[in-house]
Amino acid sequence: MTKTLETDLSIETGQALDAQPWDDDALAERACQDPYAYAQLYDRYLKPVYRYFLLRLGRRQEAEDLTSQVFLAALESLPGYRRDGHFRAWLFGIARRKLADAFRRRRPQVRLDEMGELADANETTLVELVRSEDLKRLALVFASLKESDRELLSLRFSARLSFAEMARLLKRKESAVKMSVYRLLEYLGRQLEAQDER
């Protein structure tokens, strides 16, 4: 008789699956045979993937469609995942490829009325800035950045990847990624201040 993931983990640990935050790699391994484990990964990363697409594309429907595509592609590719402790970077690698496909189909446009969806109660500095500053000015400055700079900020603040995860995903040194993000934040601040002085 095949045990469910929850029962299996309860026997091994004395706890239900939801009672403890399980390691992504352990869930990924179990998800190859048990859909409940994949549902846990889906719940864990749905909002960050969606916010990443919404920030980059500015359209709810497109962000929802691409989010679905990412999780379907991840499920299909899961047996090939190396379980090396970098599940989030692996998942956002899939998201970046889906985004590149979307960009090839159209030019991105930031819709200001949808940018507010990026925030929730635990948001980081950039999204707090989005909340406190005039959305229109920030969106214009963000849109004026090079594609690679928008990507860096999106991965850090929308997808919430760590600098180490970003470095792995972008195949750059962690210190270089960190410096680039900080320089971009300084640049955004200077641009907004310059607009205030006009």
Write down all domains in the chain, each with its CATH number in brackets.
Answer: 18-109 (1.10.1740.10), 116-198 (1.10.10.10)
Rounded alpha-carbon distances, angstroms, from residue 157 to 1, 17, 150: 45, 29, 11
Asked if residue 153 lies in contact with residue 180, where contact means CB atoms within 8 angstroms, the answer is no
Asked if residue 152 lies in contact with residue 166, where contact means CB atoms within 8 angstroms, the answer is yes
Q: What is the pTM of this model?
A: 0.63
What is the structure's pLDDT at 14? 35
SS3 percent helix, strand, coil of the chain, rounded to 5, is 75, 0, 25
What is the structure's pLDDT at 92? 94
What is the structure's pLDDT at 140? 81
Q: Which residue from 96, 111, 79, 114 is spatially nearest to 159, judged by alpha carbons?
A: 96
- Distance, first Cα to last Cα, the chain: 72
What is the structure's pLDDT at 108? 43
What is the structure's pLDDT at 67? 96
- Structure confidence by residue, pLDDT tens digits, 137-170: 777 888 889 999 999 989 988 888 999 999 999 9
Q: Where are the alpha helices (DSSP H) in 35-86?
A: 35-57, 60-77
In which residue ranges of the chain is pLDDT below 50? 1-20, 108, 110, 112-113, 119-122, 129-130, 133
What is the structure's pLDDT at 134? 55
User: What would the two tokens of residue 191 be?
Assistant: 């641009």
Rounded Cα distance between 125 and 38, Å, is 31
Asked if residue 78 lies in contact with residue 31, where contact means CB atoms within 8 angstroms, the answer is yes
